[in-house]
Amino acid sequence: MNLTLIDDWRITIGRRVLLGPNVTLCTTGHPIHPDHRMDGMYSFPITIGDNVWLGANVIVMPGVTIGENSVIGAGSVVTKDIPPNVIAFGSPCKVYRTINEHDAEYYFQDRRFDQLPTD
């Protein structure tokens, strides 16, 4: 819902990618210095690897690559590349930890996959 693609350059999205509501992928920006800001825009590609999950309200900036299997937390602004197999969040987005065996056993906080509700 409400996906925004500023696609003045290539956006590559892998397989089995989850995009939360209000995600923005922005390949384009303007120079920061006021003497050059109106000179035009710049654009760099964005690459999202396979099995990535971008939470609600994530913004991905020009030139960023997000590695396969990574999770980007809601509300993050991704300004630099994120490696594969990590959980990252924040503004600016930073790696918090690697996805590990605990994540294979627990789906949310202390709730285990083998104890899913039946109702």
User: Which residues carry out catalysis?
Assistant: 30
Q: How long a stretch of residues is the chain?
A: 119
The distance from CA 31 to its chain's CA centroid, rounded to whole angstroms, is 23
Residue 26 neighbours by CB distance under 10 Å: 18
Amino acid at 33: H
